[in-house]
Amino acid sequence: MFIAIIPCAGMGKRMGKEIPKQFISLKGIPLFIYTLKVFEDHPLCKGIHLVVPRDFKNFVKEAITKFAIKRVLNIHEGGSTRQESVYNGLRDIIDKEEVILVHDGVRPLVDPKIVTEVYKATLKWGAAIPVIPVRDALIEGYEGYLLRPINREGLYLVQTPQGIRFSILKDCLEKALREGLFFSDESSLLFHYGYKVRLVEGSLKNFKITYPDDLVLAEKLISI
C-alpha cells in the first residue's frame, strides 16, 4: 500500500487564466478532481495528502465533498516551491516504512497501471519514476539561433507519480531545506544525495497540463 502526495499549489501563470490551472473546470469538473479520482479508485492507495494554495482551501474542500472524494487525509497549505509543498504534505506521515507516491495535480490522465508499476518498483528499489523516451530531435539554442544538436539517445522525459520510501524522501527533503537547495522534482533531489532511481515505462497520455493547448487535448481525452 502507498500514500499519495498531490501537490496542487502552483499558480500556473503560463496558462494565462485568472485561477490556477488545477482548478479550471473541464466538462463541469475541476481538473484536480480527475487527478484525485485516479488515486481514490486505486486499490493500493491508503490515502491522499493534498497540497493547495491558501486562498483556495475552501474551494478545494467544497469540491472534494461535492465529488465524493473520500481518501483525502489532509489538505495542506502550499509552499513557495514544489519542494516545500511536498514537504508540507509529508510532515503528517509518521510510518517510516511507508511508500510515498508524489503526483502532479495537473496530470489527470495517468494510467492506474503506471501507478501500480511505480509502486512495485519503489518497493523493490527504494525509488522509481515513470519516463518516456525523447522522440523528437533535440537542439540547444542561443540568442534565437541553433547552437548545436543534442544526441537524444538515452534521454527521457520525466513524469509522475514519483515513488520513494518515506524515510528516504524525508531525509533528503530536510537536508535540502537546511542547505538551501531546491530541486524541480523528487528524482533530481534523490540523485543529488546519491540515491539510485529506477525507471519504469510512462505514457504519452500522462502529460502535464501547462499551456492552453494542453487543456484542449485533455478535454478530448478525459473521462470520469
Predicted confidence (pLDDT) at residue 15 exceeds the cutoff of 80: no
What is the span of the domain harbouring residue 22? 2-221
Rounded Cα distance between 60 and 72, Å, is 11
Using a pLDDT cut of 90, give the percent of the chain over it: 87
- Give 190-221 pLDDT, tens digit per residue: 999 999 999 999 999 999 999 999 999 999 99
Rounded Cα distance between 51 and 29, Å, is 19
At 16, the pLDDT band (50, 70, 90 cuts) reads low
- Give 104-142 pLDDT, tens digit per residue: 999 999 999 999 999 999 999 999 999 999 999 999 999
Q: What are phi and psi of 185, to 5 degrees?
A: -155, 175
At 96, the pLDDT band (50, 70, 90 cuts) reads confident
Instruction: Please give the average per-residue pLDDT across 66-84, as a whole number.
Output: 96
Domain containing 145 — which CATH number? Answer: 3.90.550.10
Instruction: Please give the average per-residue pLDDT across 87-91, as a whole number.
Output: 95
pLDDT, mean over the chain: 94
Using a pLDDT cut of 70, give the percent of the chain over it: 96
For residue 224, what pLDDT is reported?
A: 57
Classify residue 95 by burial, with Cβ atoms within 10 Å: 0-12, 13-18, 19+: exposed
Predicted confidence (pLDDT) at residue 188 exceeds the cutoff of 70: yes
Rounded Cα distance between 199 and 121, Å, is 8
Number of domains in the chain: 1
For residue 14, what pLDDT is reported?
A: 57
Query: CA of 199: how far to CAs of 1, 33, 35, 65, 157, in Å?
Result: 20, 27, 22, 36, 11
